[in-house]
Every structure is written in structure tokens, then in C-alpha cells.
Structure 1
Amino acid sequence: MKISLKQLQNRGSKRQQYATINKSMLNKLNPPDLYRFYCLSLFRNDYYYVRLRIKDIAKLTGEKEGALQDFNDNMDKVLTRKKYPSPINHPIRDFTMRSLYCIPPIEHPDFITLSYLFIKLDLSVKAKGYYIKLLLIAKDSIILLNPKELAEKLKMGKSAIENYNIELYSAGLLKYLSKGLELTPSELLLDNDIAAQRKERGNPLPKITLKSQ
């Protein structure tokens, strides 16, 4: 799956090599929103701030913009979001309000580090988010839970889990065990030692002089 990132990078948001996800986020977001959070986190700056529009995020995930209509409300469950005015070329208005996302700090040692290569996999958004959930609960890549127990752990439907497992198995990302699953993320799951914490922040919002109406 090819994703054009040129426009995003020109807007001052540079893709990082990895994103971190805290294990405490396991059931705060559903699978698609957890994957969207991961994509958003890939574009954090050194202070863990992200400036992306909804349409930019939709391009990253390969979805239609309408699928993210509740994105900001859902992200408010796991991060701090501020609004700031951004100048636009409009006959009536001089600016519009944009969202500034502040990615939560790393919760040592309970987090995972996922490579940007994950966005290149040809999988559904739901399956990718579900796989992140599996990575959050796995121990040494092993999950010793049957489908029913896994559904209870992840607060998901058993049939949905079985469908996602098939999709991930076909992609070579998991193996079935007699009493559970073995995850095979290969180069996608990185050593947490490479993860850097945010720098000390000043005022992240741009200074913009607005015209009087």
C-alpha cells in the first residue's frame, strides 16, 4: 500500500521512525481508533506535539474522511488536544480553528514501540488496531487465552476476534497455538530502549495576529 506523505511533510509534520503506545490505552480506544492514534503519533515532534488535519490522518490510514467524524472526541480520551487559529484563504473568514494534539508521555515500562513500517501492511484498519491490542497484552509474543477469554480481555466480540485472527494469520503476523496465539511481528515491534521521551515544552501554539471583522 503506497501512501504519499509529501503534502504532510510540507506542512511541517515529519514522519518519525516509530511510535510508542502505552499499555494503559488497551481498552480506552476501539481497534480502528487505536490504529489511528498510532498513525497520529508517527508525526509527533520532539515535544510530542502533532499538527495534522483530519483529512491528513485519513490519507495515512487509507480511509475516507467521513470515517473519522468522531476522531477528535475519541482522541480526547487518551491525549490532550488544544485548538489554535490557522490562517486560510477564504472570502469571509481569515482563519479556521485547528487541533494541536499532545501525545501522552511514555509510561515506563508499560509500553510498546512500533515501527513506521506497520502503516505499509495491506491490512484493514480494524485488523491493524486489533493487532496493536494483541501486542499490548502479549508476553514474549505469546497470548495464552482462548477466543472467549481474549474477547473478555479486549472487550470485543468473539466473532470479530476470530475474523481478525484469520486476517492476521494470512498476513503472517500470528500463529495458532493449542491454547492461544503466538505473535510474529518481526521487524515491526522494536526494542523499547530506542524510545525517547519528550523534551521540555514551551508555548506550542503559533502567534497569529487576527484581522478584526
Structure 2
Amino acid sequence: MTSQKKLPFKDYTTVNCQDAIALSSPDMYRYFVLSLTADRQLKTDTTLKQLADFTGEKESAYKGGQTKGKKKLSLNERFKASGVFKEIISSNGYSNYQPSRNIYVFKKAEKGNYRRVKKEFRDLSLPVKLKGYILQLFCLAEPSSYLITRTTNNISRTLGMANKTVKEYNEILKDKGLLKETKEGFELKLDKYFILDEAKYNKEKKSEEEDEWVDWMEAI
């Protein structure tokens, strides 16, 4: 396995919750790492070779082909089919000495429907598929919470995964102390890697305080 190289980019990134449903678990993690390299215009020209270095995979894992008579889509083909990117632009390179490379244009965060993930999440010692699954669970969690109020069957249907696979992943995460089963469903225990968005709560609290101030002024 290729060693993970340091990312000289953002401290955290945002992922739209809808992406958790559109992508498989491994591709969700690859998408997350790729998003860490995006600039202020939400663009990156990171190559698949670089992405493989960042995720600790081999570039060959991203190639398509034929498997048992069935066509296997490449990572870029899967990305395009999923619709998670605003656009994937094919570039001819910046000079005759540089290879052609794609430019990935990310969508803006959907208001009230996104999650923030720290770059340190890459340091979690788990297979790519499990890290992607964790990101999917975080996207399914209640707003400003690590609580997932869903059954195993519901998670399976929502993510398009086999129920057996969801149970297997859950057991691995529970054994590692990263997931806890509760009366309501499940709770992620990875707060050091995620940033809860409390903007809505603070906005509502501020609005309530302003309403109280107006009521007090009118009573004078």
C-alpha cells in the first residue's frame, strides 16, 4: 500500500449529505480527500496518482475494465455518473511538458444539509471503505449531532448497501469504540474528527433573545 502523503491544504472540508447516498463507501472517502485539495473557487486539478498517494491506495484501483464479463466503471466515470460534482473538466495540461489532467469543480455546500470534516480524519487507521462508511453515517446523523436515529435496515436501504455489509461494518466500528448502539439507533464517537454546525442553533437563540428584548421594550 502506498504511504499517505501530507496534504498541504485545508484544515477541514465540507461534504453535502446527499453525496453519502450518491457514492459508495470507498468513493465517499476518496471524494472527501479530493475535496481537501480544492481551492477557494471549489476547484482542484489533483491527479488520480496524487489522490492514490493521499488515500494510501494504488492508482490501479481507480481504473475501469471488464470484470467477469461486466463493465467496471473507472473512478472518474463513477464520479460523473453520481452527479456529486458541479463539473469535471478535461484539461490538456498547462504546457507541452505536463500531462493532461482533470479539473474537478465541487458544488457549494447545501444550506442546512452538509457536514464539516477535519483533515485529521485521514489519520484514522481504517480501510478506505470503512472511513467512507463513517462519513456516510455522519451525513445521516441528526443536525448538529452524532446521533443516527435509523435502524440497520433503514441505513442499508438509504445507502444502497447490503444489510449484511452494514451489520458487519457496524460491528467493526463498535468493537473499535467508534460507534455506539443506543435506544434511538447509533451514535458516532469521533468528535475529534468532525465539526458540528451549530450556526442554526445560535441563530435561533439570537432570534429568541431579540424577541425577548423587543417584548421588554414594548412593556416599558
Q: TM-score range by the shorter chain?
A: 0.7 to 0.9
CA distance in 1, matches of 2:146, 2:196: 13
Query: What is the aligned partner in structure 2 of residue 208 from structure 1?
Result: none
Instruction: Report the structure, 1 or 2, having the larger helix content.
Output: 2
Task: Tell me which amino acid in the other structure corresponds to 1:153.
Answer: T
Mark the CA change 1:95 to 1:116 in structure 2 (over 3 Å): closer, same or farther.
Answer: closer
- 1:169 and 2:174 correspond: yes
Q: Deviations over 1:155-184 (max 9, x none)?
A: 111111111112222332211224521111
Query: What is the aligned partner in structure 2 of residue 180 from structure 1?
Result: 185
Q: Select between 175-184 and 130-139 the one with higher mean Cα deviation.
A: 175-184
Q: Which runs of 4+ in 1 moved over 4 A?
A: none
CA distance in 2, matches of 1:42, 1:95: 23
For the 8 Å contact 2:3–2:56, the answer to whether it is kept is no
- Cα RMSD for the two superposed structures: 2.2
- 1:53 and 2:53 correspond: no
Give ranges in structure 1 of 5+ residues lacking alignment: 195-213
Give ranges in structure 2 of 5+ residues lacking alignment: 64-73, 200-220
- 1:130 and 2:130 correspond: no
Alignment of structure 1 residues 186-205 onto 2, 5 Å? 186-192=191-197
2:115 equivalent among 112, 117, 121: 112
TM-score norm. by structure 2 comes to 0.76
Report the secondary structure of 2:165's partner residue.
helix
Q: Identity, % of aligned pairs?
A: 26
CA distance in 1, matches of 2:164, 2:184: 17
TM-score norm. by structure 1 comes to 0.78
Mark the CA change 1:172 to 1:30 in structure 2 (over 3 Å): closer, same or farther.
Answer: same
For the 8 Å contact 1:143–1:181, the answer to whether it is kept is yes
Alignment of structure 1 residues 12-161 onto 2, 5 Å? 14-69=8-63, 70-76=74-80, 77-79=83-85, 80-86=87-93, 96-139=99-142, 140-161=145-166
- 1:3 and 2:8 correspond: no
